């Protein structure tokens, strides 16, 4: 193989490696996007579980009060327990959703960073391949000047 063929082959390999690196970063970005979606879904599921728990707790409070012959009026002690359980459940649900969105945001930022890193890897590989060609040309031109 001649010098030019080796330079071309080397440049081709560098471009191929850069493309593979970009693809690897793109896969990382896709994984991060999927994790973001899973975080949101998980948070929604946990919030729904907390809502079911709230309903069961209120039902239990009302059943207990009814079994004792106590009225579950809004102004009484039982009403106060129900309002307190509603307040705590709402706070818990909001925290769960906030944590899920926070994780999703972190994964989203990771996806963007991976995508940018992939672009950088491709640009680096292309510039390296062109740089190698330029170095070869400069060395070749320098050799012609020394002979003259």
DSSP codes of every residue in 17-71? HHHHHHHHHHHHHHHHHHHHHHHHHHHHHHHHHHHHHHHHHHHHHHHHHHHTT--
Q: In 3D, which of 5, 7, 4 has the Cα closest to residue 128?
A: 7
**pLDDT at 32 exceeding the cut of 60:** yes
Q: 1 CB contacts (<8 Å, ≥6 apart)?
A: 9
pLDDT digits (tens, 9 = 90+) for 96-116: 999 999 999 999 999 999 999
pLDDT digits (tens, 9 = 90+) for 56-110: 999 998 888 888 887 767 677 888 888 999 999 999 999 999 999 999 999 999 9
CA atoms within 13 A on the CB side of 14: 17
Tokens of 108: 């989203």
């Amino acid at each position: 193989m001649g010098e030019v063929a080796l330079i071309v082959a080397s440049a081709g390999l560098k471009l191929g490696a850069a493309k593979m690196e970009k693809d690897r970063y793109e896969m990382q970005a896709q994984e991060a996007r999927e994790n973001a979606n899973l975080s949101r879904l998980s948070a929604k599921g946990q919030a729904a579980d907390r809502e079911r728990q709230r309903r069961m707790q209120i039902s239990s409070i009302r059943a207990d009060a009814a079994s004792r012959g106590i009225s579950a009026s809004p102004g009484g002690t039982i009403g106060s327990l129900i309002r307190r359980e509603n307040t705590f459940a709402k706070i818990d649900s909001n925290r769960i959703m906030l944590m899920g969105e926070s994780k999703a945001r972190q994964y989203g930022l990771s996806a963007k960073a991976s995508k940018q890193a992939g672009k950088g890897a491709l640009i680096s590989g292309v510039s390296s391949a062109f740089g190698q060609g330029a170095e070869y040309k400069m060395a070749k031109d320098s050799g012609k000047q020394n002979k003259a």
